[in-house]
Amino acid sequence: MVADRPFFVHPIGGLMIGDQFAAGSPLTMEVYSTAFSQTAQGTGPYAGPTNYYGHRNLAHALQAQDIGAVVLRPTIKTGRLLDPERVPPAVLLELLEQDIAGRPPRPFDDELLAAARADVAESAAVVGEPEPA
């Protein structure tokens, strides 16, 4: 995995990793993106909803799967932290549908798509535009 900061040992928190930026194989990103839910469900390192510490849990989830990390190349600058721009609901729905179509179904897919479709309908009603087909 490529991260903004590699594994490091914090004097209080122990093993940690940067998480401002990450990129990796589909398996790596699956582990990266489920570190919180693993903890909350009691299946990951430091399991339990009160034991979530982002940098620590992520580091241990990656380590448990033997996934290493390298630092971003010096030519890549991350800049200051900013809130991401809001993705329009119709665009988000299209991206979700593409993502879901390219992988095995998951239990929450129908709920996620229903919520995204409701957001599209709500935004169309606010703007007065017809809903996409």
- Is the pTM of the predicted complex or chain greater than 0.75? no
The residue to which tokens 């329009």 are assigned:
88
Cα(45)–Cα(95) distance, rounded to whole angstroms? 31
Per-residue pLDDT of the chain (133 residues; tens, 9 = 90+): 777 778 889 898 888 888 776 777 888 888 888 887 777 776 665 555 456 677 888 888 888 888 887 776 655 666 665 666 778 899 999 989 998 898 888 888 899 999 999 999 998 877 655 555 5
Residue with tokens 């030519």: 75
